[in-house]
Chain A
Amino acid sequence: IRDIVVPALGTTFPMESFNTQFEKAANKFYAESPSVWDFSQMFGEEDNENSDDDSQDATDNYISSLAFDPQGELLAVGYNSGQVVVLTQQDDWTYQLYSEFKSHDSEFDCLTSTEIEEKINMIRWYPFQSQGQFLMTTNDKTIKLFKLWNKGYVDDTPDIGVKQRRVFSGAHAYNINSISFNSDGETFISTDDLRINLWHTDVSHETFGVVDIKPDDMEELTEVITCSEFHPNDCGLFVYATSKGVVRLCDLRDSALCKGYSKTFKDTESDIGGFFQELVTTVSDVKWSPCGRFLLSRDYLTMKIWDPRMDSRALRTIKFHDHLIPSLCDLYEDDSIFDKFTCSWSGDSMRIVTGSYNGSFYVCDAFGSHITQMTAAPPSAPQRSNNILDSSHKVLHTAWHPSGDVIGLGAKDFGFLYLKQQDDSESESEEEEEESQ
């Protein structure tokens, strides 16, 4: 008999494929805390002043990553241009500019004669608080650690200093897709298409390879790693997901050298079949729930909740993209089928959010049945027709505040913040269209 423990629900529930007790408690929770969301803020790049400068790519201003800090005071936004903008939360739950800096510059790799893009693939905040705030950013090849701190006040506004503290480079032959801090406060992993490296935050000249799925003969390559994450509390566990729709759980405590995996979680229910089968099951994001008891994996058509103790099947499969199935051909033609959508958990591990096309995003109950679809747009924007699939408007990036009901979304060059409606007060839709930079 296994039990499900979700802190938000209080007590422990024995699980036998969704025992009624558990469902009842979950449904009660969701009934008492309905998920209604209001637009709060929009931020985005102003039109380019030097529009006659053709060298500046329009996609430079696209958001490429989002992350709330663990204390819930800051939101970091990374861009294709290598810029990082940090916003800070005000008393009224709006966000103002806190700091801004250029994290990465593009480089030229002489060996392969290719350009290394400055695009920020992922931002992670250091899990512990101290005099300054630390965040880690990565592009395809280089990871950097920055410190932000309040230097003092200049005319009532805080003067925020930014300093690059460490550079971790030269350890990845392939493109880095993820970084993740360990709960021990001193190590982290970086992941590329085929390998995962373990680093110590104080040591930049040395790293340990812990996972290597490169075949001896590259002709035999069939699978790449798409994302990975350390467990929020257990210093030995991490997961990585692959293009074959597989999520693997690894335990650093087992052995020293490039290890096998402890458990595998594989989608066994997918029923698309045919040419697109493998393309749609590739996992684009994997996230541990903040309580550490569940895993969330996002593939093209579904989101799956896994209990790591049960590898036979997913605890829940949330199908919210079935309407895309008829259009898979078109989505393949314009390459949209390769879009990597991220997903995020709420701080209480009860809800999840992910983005989609037509500028929409979905907030789903993790253990209940509600799926709320919304469009990321200020209330004043003209209504979009949802009948026609618009794959150019996509919300790729999502982030959920660690303790509050604030969702951050990134859709091309615009960012959105949504607040959950409070049940007791009047619904306060804050219709500020703030184009802050």
Chain B
Amino acid sequence: FKYCIAMDVLLPELQHIDLQIRLNAVSNIGLFAKKLGKEETLKSLLPALQILLSDEDEILAALAEQISSFPDHIGTDNVVPLLELLEPLCKAEETVVRNKATASIEAICKFFTDEQIQTSFVPMLKRLASEEWFTPKSSACRIFYIAFSRSPSEVQSDLISIYKTLCSDETPMVRRAAATHLKSLIPFAPVSMMEEQILDCVKSFDNDEQDSVRLLVVDIAIAIAKTLTEQNAAGLNKSIVEPLITACCQDKSWRVRFMVGTKFAELASALGEEMTKDVLLPFFCGLLKDAEAEVRMVAAEQISRVAELLPLETVISEILPILKTLSVDEAQNVREAMAADIMLLAKQFGTQGTNDHLLDLFLHLLKDDVAEVRLNVIGKLDQVTSIIGIEHISTHLIPAIVELAEDQQWRVRQAVIAFMPRLAKQLDIQYFNDKLLPLCVGWLSDSVFRIREKAAENLMNLVSVLGVEYYTLSIHPQLSKITKSSNYLYRMVALFAAAKLAPILPVEVVKTQLTEELVLVLVDDVTANVRLNVGASLDVILPLLEGEPEFVASKIQPALKKLGEDKDMDVKAYAAVPKVSS
């Protein structure tokens, strides 16, 4: 009988003294259930799994996770019995276990009928919410929305008063959980409840003595604003949401103000343009001038998105002056954040506005002491050049790039390399070749390997942007020159480049310029590392030359044969890799 054998195998494993064996057994429970079939699972497996509930945390976590897959294995029409295992797991002490248990509950509740929600889920929720310790109460907060979203209004009233008690629990852990998850309930609350019970809950958080609770009010405010707007009750935003935001922006704890800063753009778009201008703007300016650098930094990251919701004259009169102050902020991370974001303002300001008001700011940041600030400007440059064209800034841009290209920190140099293709697209070709191509070539001989590697990649990117002709005219001569370098490390770069470029160039070019002039010339190189890479490069090139059997036979095969008889073992090994199709 299938059941006996299966359970007889499983049960001892679940009770084995070795944790790893138990863990392996538990991790396969889902498949086991599938094999057993629905009826046997419900009858024998689920009760048997109860023994695991006093086991170690890793077992509990694995069990909680597995249960979420049970509907797949045993069907979705009666998953209620799974709660018998999940409810105790929601009370577990270790956070990871509780989180997995609540995640599984969320997964299986999709398959509950509305009636099952009322008869099985809601009572479980009430039990968890009235337990003694903070652990099950925190779990209850997480899954509260499931009952709330699927219950009729009388039950909702009942549920919200239970939630209220959780909001004023004596332990900060439960209050934090209640504050974090209130926003999941809000979309399902009728406007009248918003004005009363929900608002009561939020007010208690607003006045909480724990910073970690107060800072959660921001997300709640956003959720309320969004829901009120959706339900055509946006007028209530002023009376309900405004006081909450006021309190947060003026909080003594920088962490709370930081939280507002990170969500400001989201808040502004939830409240709409009018409220942003009338109510939020002074707060935003306050955050940009906050005493704490971390707050100024996150506010600076939001500038362009907030400005979008304001009329241009307001941005110019209110925000622009602050930007000037921020550009000389003593905290480096503030200037970095600002540099990354304000380039996006160009779109709103338009050609004339950018020229008049923003250009000086960009150029100032381009001369900042700190490399990261300058890099952030360059990184978003295309936002600006698409509005005002590149001619205006190129005189300032090029010296800045040249300086960064030779920065002592290799990571800075690496970041500059990444910009090259974009700049190649935007600049006049002659200008690019004049000013920036020498840099690209110089990087091929950088002292840091990563840079040389990136430089080779960069050549491939340039060709993708500028075309095959560009390769033949501008790049190939330089690569050819490098194969004659006295340093073997640089000669190897030619081979990397060839391997990178081969896939995107036409066969003719691959044949003559790449293979003959770059790769094969190094077959007799004095250094084994170089010869070794010849084999590696040929491995990439060979599949691309399938339509050129004579060339392969006359040029490549002899080379491979020669390398195959090389005195160095590694060279021989690499030469053996490329497969010549017969």
Contact = CB atoms under 8 A, between A and B. Distances in A.
A complexed with B: yes
Interface of A: 128-132, 147, 183-186, 202, 233-236, 252-257
Nearest to A147: B93
Contact of B294 (A132, A185, A234, A256): A256
A184 B172 contact: yes
B482 to A, nearest CB: 44
25 contacts: A128-B171, A130-B93, A130-B133, A130-B134, A131-B91, A131-B93, A131-B133, A131-B135, A147-B93, A183-B210, A184-B172, A184-B212, A185-B171, A185-B173, A186-B212, A233-B209, A235-B172, A252-B211, A253-B211, A253-B254, A254-B254, A255-B254, A255-B291, A255-B292, A256-B294
B207 interface: no
A132 B93 contact: yes
Contacts of B252: 253
Interface residues of B, number: 22
Interface in B138-191: 171-173, 176
B interface, by DSSP: helix, strand, loop or mixed?
A: helix
A253 B209 contact: no
Contact of A256 (B135, B172, B293): B293
Contacts of B291: 255
Contacts of B135: 130-131
B255 A184 contact: no
B204 interface: no
Contacts of B133: 129-131
Contacts of B294: 256
A186 B212 CA distance: 10
B95 interface: yes
Interface in B204-242: 209-212
Contacts of B173: 128, 185-186
Contacts of A147: 93
B253 interface: yes
B253 to A, nearest CB: 4
Contacts of A236: 211, 253
Given A128-B173, A185-B173, A235-B209, A256 B93 contact: no
Contacts of B255: 253
Contacts of A235: 172, 209-212
B140 to A, nearest CB: 15
A185 B170 CA distance: 11
Given A131-B93, A131-B135, A185-B171, A256 B254 contact: yes
A253 B291 CA distance: 12
A86 to B, nearest CB: 18
Contacts of B293: 256-257
Contact of A253 (B93, B134, B176, B253): B253
Contacts of A255: 254, 291-292
B121 to A, nearest CB: 24
B209 A234 contact: yes
B49 to A, nearest CB: 20
Contacts of A128: 134, 171, 173
- Those 3 A-B pairs whose CB atoms lie nearest each other, nearest first: A253-B253, A130-B133, A256-B294
Interface string B245-257: 0000000111100
A234 B133 CA distance: 22
B289 to A, nearest CB: 15
Interface in B268-305: 291-294
B128 to A, nearest CB: 14
A135 to B, nearest CB: 14
Contacts of A252: 211, 253
A185 B93 contact: no
A256 B259 CA distance: 13
Nearest to A151: B54
Contacts of A256: 254, 292-294
Contacts of A129: 133
B300 to A, nearest CB: 15
Which among A147, A184, A202 has the highest number of chain B CB atoms within 10 Å? A184
Contacts of A132: 93
Contacts of A183: 172, 210
Nearest to A134: B93
A131 B92 CA distance: 9
Nearest to A254: B254
Nearest to B291: A255
A128 B93 CA distance: 13
A236 to B, nearest CB: 6
Contacts of B176: 186
A185 B209 contact: no
Contacts of A202: 95
Contacts of B171: 128, 185
B292 to A, nearest CB: 5
A257 B294 CA distance: 9
Contacts of B210: 183-184, 235
A355 B253 CA distance: 39
A64 to B, nearest CB: 28
A130 B134 CA distance: 7
Contacts of A233: 209
A130 B211 CA distance: 23
B402 to A, nearest CB: 34
Contacts of A254: 254, 292
B179 to A, nearest CB: 13
A353 to B, nearest CB: 29
A431 B253 CA distance: 53
A146 to B, nearest CB: 13
A235 B294 CA distance: 20
Contacts of A253: 211, 252-255
Given A236-B211, A254-B292, A256-B293, 6 more contacts: A129-B133, A183-B210, A184-B172, A234-B209, A235-B210, A254-B254
Contacts of B254: 253-256
Contacts of B212: 184, 186, 235
A128 B212 CA distance: 16
Interface in B71-99: 91, 93, 95
Interface string B99-130: 00000000000000000000000000000000
B495 to A, nearest CB: 41
Contacts of B253: 236, 252-253
A182 to B, nearest CB: 9
A276 B480 CA distance: 79
Nearest to A201: B95
Contacts of B211: 184, 235-236, 252-253
A118 B255 CA distance: 37
A128 B176 CA distance: 14
Contacts of B93: 130-132, 147
A129 to B, nearest CB: 7
A234 B211 CA distance: 9
A126 B223 CA distance: 34
A288 to B, nearest CB: 15
A255 B252 CA distance: 10
A129 B131 CA distance: 13
A252 B253 CA distance: 8
Nearest to B173: A185
B54 to A, nearest CB: 8
Contacts of A131: 91, 93, 133, 135
Which among A202, A233, A234, A236 has the highest number of chain B CB atoms within 10 Å? A236
